[in-house]
């Protein structure tokens, strides 16, 4: 498998995976969405809530706020020495104490661990009016997307086939294909039709449908364009690396169990 990077930002990565079966590409996608651990608020303790929102709605909203942390520093509660009761090695408390009138934002949480805090300070939590008060403790722990979507590290994690577009000598440069393509993949260059942007092709086949000479073909390949967008809790490429690691570990476990058959 070859990997070619098209875009490498902190929160977004676009890469091409070459010569790889689609089943493996899809397994990497699923591993990234469902098995890469992140930190999210698991439950809240409400000491005072005179806002217009019910405790349950607040808890749901706070659970979806992306949290940044060093995930290797923490244990999963069920694998922690505390036996899942909760200790500084498996959970972090974030406290919020606010009084209206004001809009309460995610940046107002005070965390027990300075490294574990909301990724963005400007996520609205609740609007408090005159005399309304909110006093809560939100308890965050490690989890995986398979358990609940709030632990998913990605907001976008998708791939598409990179097609091979061929134009043969039957082409009479009528431009019908260039005009028919809704994504401007084709262009006229030096009096010939050429492929300007193959990454943008969605294989809608409009170009082959309008070509009266049957001079253009769009075929599937074993190359895939992969787009990963992080919610901000860890860099996009780290999610990719961890997803592949999870998959490798699962394959090793499979191999070990096969030895006993
Ligand atoms: Zn613990």
Instruction: For residues 253 and 21, give the distance between their C-alpha atoms in angstroms, rounded to a whole number.
Output: 21
Contact assessment for residue 98 and residue 58, using Cβ atoms and an 8 Å cutoff:
no
The topology under which CATH files domain 39-147 is RNA Polymerase Alpha Subunit; Chain A, domain 2 (2.170.120)
The mean pLDDT of 46-65, rounded to a whole number, is: 96
Residue 87 Cα to ligand 1 midpoint, Å, equals 4
- Numbers of helices and strands, H then E, in the chain: 5, 16
The mean pLDDT of 9-31, rounded to a whole number, is: 94
Residue 82 Cα to ligand 1 midpoint, Å, equals 4
Residue 141 Cα to ligand 1 midpoint, Å, equals 10
Residue 143 Cα to ligand 1 midpoint, Å, equals 13
φ, ψ (nearest 5 deg) of residue 219:
-125, 150
Residue 249 Cα to ligand 1 midpoint, Å, equals 24
**What is the tens place of the pLDDT at every residue in 86-107?**
999 999 999 999 998 999 999 9
- For ligand 1, a single-atom ion, the residues with CB < 5 A are 80, 82, 87, 89-90
Is it the case that residue 191 has pLDDT exceeding 90? Answer: no
The pTM of the full predicted model, rounded to 2 decimals, is 0.87
Cβ neighbour number for residue 67 with a 10 Å cutoff = 25
């Amino acid at each position: 498998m070859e990997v070619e990077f098209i875009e490498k930002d902190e929160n977004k990565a676009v890469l091409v995976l070459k010569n790889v079966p689609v089943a493996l590409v899809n397994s990497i996608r699923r591993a990234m969405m469902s098995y890469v651990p992140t930190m999210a608020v698991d439950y809240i303790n409400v000491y005072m809530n005179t806002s217009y929102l019910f405790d349950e709605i607040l808890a749901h909203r706070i659970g979806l706020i992306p949290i940044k942390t060093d995930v290797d520093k923490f244990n999963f509660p069920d694998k922690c020495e505390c036996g899942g009761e909760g200790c500084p090695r498996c959970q972090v408390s974030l406290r919020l104490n606010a009084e209206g009138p004001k809009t309460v934002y995610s940046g107002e949480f005070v965390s027990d661990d300075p490294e574990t805090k909301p990724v963005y300070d400007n996520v609205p939590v609740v609007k408090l009016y005159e005399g309304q008060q909110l006093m809560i403790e939100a308890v965050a722990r490690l989890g995986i997307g398979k358990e609940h979507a709030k632990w998913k590290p990605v907001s976008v994690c998708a791939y598409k086939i990179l097609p091979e577009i061929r134009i043969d000598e039957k082409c009479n440069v009528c431009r019908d294909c260039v005009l028919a393509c809704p994504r401007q993949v084709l262009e006229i260059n030096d009096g010939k039709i050429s492929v300007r942007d193959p990454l943008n092709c969605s294989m809608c086949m409009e170009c082959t449908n309008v070509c009266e000479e049957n001079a253009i073909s769009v075929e599937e390949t074993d190359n895939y364009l992969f787009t990963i967008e992080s919610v901000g809790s860890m860099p996009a490429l780290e999610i990719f690396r961890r997803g592949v690691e999870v998959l490798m570990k699962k394959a090793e476990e499979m191999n070990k169990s096969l030895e006993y058959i």
